[in-house]
Structure 1
Amino acid sequence: MAYVIIRGNNGRRHEVDFENAEIKVEVHINEENVELVIEALDEDRPREKKRFTLVNLPRSAFDKAMAEMARSKGIAIKAVD
């Protein structure tokens, strides 16, 4: 079961629960950012009611997190530009 929880600057919690729906994940990367788009493939929902989340991260933070995870798992990662 996929879900996303964020807490905004105002302290309010926002949650997207994909339940058991099939999901599509897209990853877009450039030199500055990594963007994750996660969308439930709900054929029966109108477009304005689709469940999705968009996560935009600084590339440097994403790269650092992946490198730390790889080191902890003993995985060798080759940088690709």
Structure 2
Amino acid sequence: MAHVIIRGDNARRHEVAFDESEIKVSLHASNETVELAIEAHDPDRPAEKRRFFLVNIPRHLFSKAMADLARQDRKRGQGTNR
């Protein structure tokens, strides 16, 4: 089950639960940022009430996180051809 939880400056939790709905995931990148968007397929809801998550991340931090993940996978042997 896909879900997103964030905590804002006011320390309140906000959750987007996608339940068993079909979701669309898209990734857009510029030289400065990477944007990740997740949207539930909610044809029965009005457009302004559809469940979605959108985050913009500095590209260098996203690249570092992906490189760290690749290194972890390689250490566990998941990144090798067998």
With normalisation by structure 1, the TM-score equals 0.89
Q: Per-residue CA shift, 1:31-62, capped at 9, x if unaligned?
A: 11000110000111111110001011010110
| Identical columns (%) | 61
Unmatched 5+ residue regions in structure 2? none
SS at match of 2:63: helix
- Match of 1:10, SS state, is coil
The structure with the largest alpha-carbon Rg is 2
| Aligned-residue RMSD, C-alpha | 1.2
Q: Unaligned stretches of 5+ in structure 1? A: 77-81
Deviations 1:10-33 (A, max 9, x none): 101110000000000110011110
d(CA) in 2 for partners of 1:30, 1:47: 27
- Structure 1 residue ranges (4+ consecutive) displaced by more than 4 angstroms after TM superposition: none
Aligned-partner Cα distance in 2 for 1:61–1:38: 20
Match of 1:26, SS? strand
In the alignment, which residue of structure 2 is the partner of 1:71? 71
Distance 2:36 2:2 in 1: 14
Q: 1:13 aligns to what?
A: 13
